[in-house]
Each structure stands twice: as C-alpha cells, then as structure tokens.
C-alpha cells in the first residue's frame, strides 16, 4: 500500500506521514529532504541555487546518506529547497529516486508537494494536508523558537506565503490537490486528531 501525502509548508504533513508509517509499518520518505539536500549540495559548493545545470547534477548524484545531515532541517534550507524544487530538471532527476522508494514490496508513505499528482498517481491512498497560512506560520515559529532560532513571526508568515506562491505557480509539478485525494484541514486539529482523521481514510479505503 502506497500512501501519498501532499500539502504546503508547515501543514503537519510530515508529522502525520511519520505516524502513519509507524502505524502501518511502512517505510517513510520525506521528499522535501531530497530538495533540501540538493540545495545544500549547491551551497556547500558555493554555487548559485538558480544554476539549473549544477542543481540537476547535484540531484542526479544525490547520496541517500546525505539525508541525515542535521543542516537540512534549518529554516534557511526550506527556502533554498523551494528555489531548486521549481526547476524541472531537478524534479525529473529525483522522480525515479522517489518512485523506486515507493516501489518497495510492502508499500511506503511519501510526503511532499507532488506525490499524489506526479510521483505516485496510482497510490492507494492520497491525502492533501493543509491549514491556514497564519496557523502554519505559528507552528513553524514555535518550531524555530524551540530550536533557539530567533525569527519574528511576521518573517515566518512572509516566508510561508512566498513559498506557497512559488510552489503553486511553478511550471514543473505545481502544488495542487489530486482529484482523488482526501483533504484534511488541520487548522483546528492537533496531531492526534489529524492522525485519527487520516487513519479513518486509510482504513476506510481498505474496507472499500
């Protein structure tokens, strides 16, 4: 069983994906880390994030071990990843990587921006997890504050809105709701409530 989870930044999809993977004993891939890793590879090499050739080369040569680098979790990497992920050559280079992961015999849980629409269009379950921009900014601000990163809430909200626009407007695999996806709005839901809603969808599909 493949569970595809899409949604904008800080919607809670990553937390939900991890819990679903543990619950159903499936491997999990946060595909956003792939783009963060490509961006970090470019930055480490002092290359421009907009350098399409360098970005595509970094994507083709990506080492899975690099996904555990703690630097990928920083707020700056989220913005950097949004820039490289808008490049069609990067997305094409990472597409097979993601599909191989999803092709595991037991299935998998993948979360990102285009899992249900591009990477795994035939996924057994498709979820689109969202929340208001203000609530997502509050969550991200709390997360950054917990890491000791002093960032103003207004700056976080501005970053969220900028990334939303870039993800939705890009030519390559824009963020959108798959026609057969179930939308879970987590604006007023805590992690447990979102998990219950998601397992209800998954278990319901199993019984259908």
Residues linked to residue 110 through DSSP beta bridges, in sequence order: 4, 29
Give the contacts of 189 (CB within 8 A, at least 6 positions apart): 12, 197
Q: Which strands form 28-30's sheet, in the order they lie side by side?
A: 28-30, 108-112, 2-6, 125-130, 182-185
Task: Provide the token pair at 202.
Answer: 């998954």
Binding residues for ATP: 7-15
Residues linked to residue 2 through DSSP beta bridges, in sequence order: 108
Residue found under tokens 């990472």: 94
HSE value, Cβ hemisphere, 13 Å, CA-based, for 163: 26
Binding residues: 7-15
Is residue 156 within 8 Å of residue 137, measured between CB atoms?
yes
């Amino acid at each position: 069983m493949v569970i595809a989870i899409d949604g904008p930044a800080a919607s809670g999809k990553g937390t939900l994906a991890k819990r679903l993977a543990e619950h159903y004993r499936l491997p999990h891939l946060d595909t956003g880390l792939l783009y963060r890793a490509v961006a970090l590879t470019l930055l480490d090499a002092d290359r421009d994030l907009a350098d399409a050739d360098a970005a595509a080369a970094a994507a083709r040569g990506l080492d899975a071990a690099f996904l555990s680098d703690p630097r990928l979790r920083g707020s700056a990497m989220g913005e950097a990843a949004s820039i490289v992920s808008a490049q069609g050559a990067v997305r094409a280079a990472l597409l097979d990587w993601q599909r191989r992961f999803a092709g595991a015999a037991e299935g998998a849980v993948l979360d990102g921006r285009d899992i249900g629409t591009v990477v795994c269009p035939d996924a057994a379950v498709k979820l689109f997890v969202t929340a208001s921009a203000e609530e997502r900014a509050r969550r991200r601000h709390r997360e950054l504050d917990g890491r000791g990163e002093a960032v103003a809430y207004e700056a976080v909200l501005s970053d969220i809105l900028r990334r939303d626009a870039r993800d939705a407007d890009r030519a390559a695999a824009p963020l959108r709701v798959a026609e057969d996806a179930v939308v879970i709005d987590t604006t007023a839901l805590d992690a447990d409530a979102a998990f219950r809603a998601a397992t209800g969808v998954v278990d319901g599909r199993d019984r259908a």
